[in-house]
Structure 1
Amino acid sequence: MQRWPLVFFLISFPEAQLLVARRCPEPTKHYTTIGCIPSEEQTSAGCPRWFDCSELAHRTSDKCYLYGQVYQLNDQVPDGKIRSTCSALCTCQRNPARGVAEFHCAHIDCPEFLTPPNRTGCVRQYRVRECCATRQVCGEKKAHLTRCTYGDTRYYEGERMNFADDPCRTCICTEHFNATDPLSDTKCFTNDCPFELISPSVLMSGAAPVYYNNGCCPWEWRMPKPEDRLDDTGPGSSSSAARSLPYRCRYGNLTLQAGQSLVPDVTGTGTYECKCAIPPMVHCILKAT
């Protein structure tokens, strides 16, 4: 465990996704992945006040959905759309056991998945949106590679660059990389979240996306529990401004006003802190215990 319309000023949809993600401190990848449209109205934190996900109501069980596009039974997703997720040959098929359409894919096993880390003195070389490394550069050839620096981390030309302050962004180090404006680099791209490939039923079942460890994509999905309760003591519980807004989240049998949270759920895995930060979906943050 996708997305994408509206944006003014001739901004492309992936660029719009990135702008929302960079401004807003709340995770929004579950919205942009499935094509929900951010409101023009924003909060003081720079987040959309809500997302329009009305298209979800028109989804049917005999079709597959990915990144805002509809696939009929037996349609195949172009490999170029899913290669970065290490998937290939994804076809929309009916699951007879569950009576719904879902994607059946082949998984790409890269050599680096099956072998030890880089050989001593070598670095792997990658291309934009490719799953696997194309080769390794070693020894004297490695010494002649361009270096990129971002924060306290240095990379070799061809290496993937990941950013703690921008987890949905990946760049390939090149001689043209501009650390002051990584968005301008043609070798940078927005990461995809393939939850519709892997577990498409979570959206229609009312599950909440769970984010963990500053990750870009949902780590898992949490189903509502009968014992879930509103947190009357947490932030937003007594905010008259939040309660007066018409935007709400539905989660199981509960209705949450914008800003309201559930009582934290402490489990053996960690603590799930779930809230209605940006309607109409509740999202959760998993904190290790």
Structure 2
Amino acid sequence: MDKRRKSVILIEICLCFVSAVSSFTEEVCDKTKCPGPLQFYKEVRCKAIYKNPEDCCAIKYDCSHLKERSTEKCYVNDNVYEIGDELKDEDALPCDIGCTCEEGYRGVATFSCAEVDCPSFYPTPGCYLQHSSNECCPIEVCPEAEDRAKCVVNGTTYLEGDYFEVEGEPHKSCYCKPGYQGENVEPFCSTPQGNYCGTDLRSSYEIKEKCSPVYYNKQSPQNDCSVSYRCQNKNDIIISKSENARKSVDDESATCTFGNIEMQIGDELNQATDYSSVCVKCICEVPPIPTCQRLPDDECDVTVHPEFDTY
């Protein structure tokens, strides 16, 4: 084999190695380690913007489409509803029943849904509650003991009707059913399309007012649904931070918006300005929405705060 042929082979091997390393890097990109309220961005269809195309984490999101929304219409999964329209099946989760677009708080259109109260009871001895990913409430099933199916998932055995989680897919709902062979697909599992948390469905006013979703201390803003919102009030002010965090973005337009307050990267909001902000740390990490999360109980006592005005 001549030297030229050997050189060609070596180049091809190097190119394959670089390609393999690049592919591996893409595969190990773990979005759960990226900062910011990523689940909220996903729910309201904001577009990720990266400093470099190959980066794993976005430096900001484009949510400009939210400014174009009419207060007289409802929006879910890019579908637009007029006042009086009923929610389409394709946009509904199992417990979104009887939902109609109506004029809501302070004139902002939102969906009003039926109150669903699933019966709470212990199953009859020998029976179990069978859950389904496409049904809101479970039903009682009383099979022969030997007839109850079993599912083995990652070394754990589940019985028919039991819920189980799929590693790396936190929004997938899975239940053990007869015929399960280890494939986490329908009819055993389902993944809600779009509004997993129902953000558009129930939080149109908060979206319009540029409120920030709030998460419990042990929640993940990257994957979990917020438990509440913090909206601007007259006592809110910015606590400016050092320039170090801002230099990491190199984009003067990368600011967070909280009500009518503009925050630079690294800026925080003061706490305990009303009940929604007691022991809640809000910081501008990945614009345009501040990341707000409850502090641990050993760091902050929610019972200690100023007296707030009541309306």
- TM-score, normalising length: structure 2: 0.68
Per the alignment, in what secondary structure is the counterpart of residue 71 of structure 1?
A: strand
Structure 2: give runs of 5+ residues left out of the alignment.
1-28, 298-311
Larger relative contact order (Cα-Cα within 8 Å, sequence gap ≥ 6): 2
- Partner Cα distance (2:295, 2:125) in 1: 35
Q: Residue 114 of structure 2: which of 97, 106, 110 is its match?
A: 106
| Change in CA separation of 1:271 and 1:185 when aligned onto 2, cut-off 3 Å | farther
Amino acid at match of 1:205: E
How much has 1:248 moved relative to structure 2? Answer: 0.8
Tell me: CA distance 1:232–1:92, structure 2 relative to 1, closer, same or farther (3 Å): closer
Tell me, yes or no, if the aligned pair for 1:49 and 1:278 is still in contact at 8 Å: yes
What is the aligned counterpart of 2:131 among 126, 129, 138? 126
Displacement of 1:150 in angstroms is: 4.4
**Aligned equivalent of 1:172:** 175
Which residue identity is paired with 1:283?
T
1:46-61 equivalence runs, <5 A: 46-61=56-71
Aligned length: 259
Aligned-pair identity (%)? 26
Matches within 5 A, 1:1-289: 22=32, 24=34, 26-41=36-51, 46-84=56-94, 86-95=95-104, 98-110=106-118, 114-120=119-125, 122-137=127-142, 140-141=145-146, 144-150=148-154, 154-162=157-165, 167-174=170-177, 175-177=180-182, 187-190=189-192, 192-212=196-216, 213-214=218-219, 216-232=224-240, 238-242=244-248, 244-246=250-252, 247-265=254-272, 271-289=279-297
Distance 2:87 2:109 in 1: 14
CA RMSD of aligned residues (A): 3.6
Tell whether the 8 Å contact from 1:43 to 1:49 is kept in structure 2 after alignment.
no
SS in 2 for 1:83: coil
Once residues 286 and 264 of structure 2 are traced to their aligned partners in structure 1, the CA distance between those partners, rounded to angstroms, is 10
Contact 2:213 2:226 in 1 (8 A): yes
Report the TM-score when normalising by structure 1.
Answer: 0.73
Would the aligned equivalents of 1:243 and 1:257 in 2 still touch at CA under 8 Å? Answer: no
Larger displacement relative to structure 2 (20-29 or 61-70): 20-29
Give the drift of 1:199. Answer: 3.3
TM-superposed CA distance for 1:80, in Å, is 4.6
SS at match of 1:203: helix
- Where is the strand percentage greater, Structure 1 or Structure 2? 1
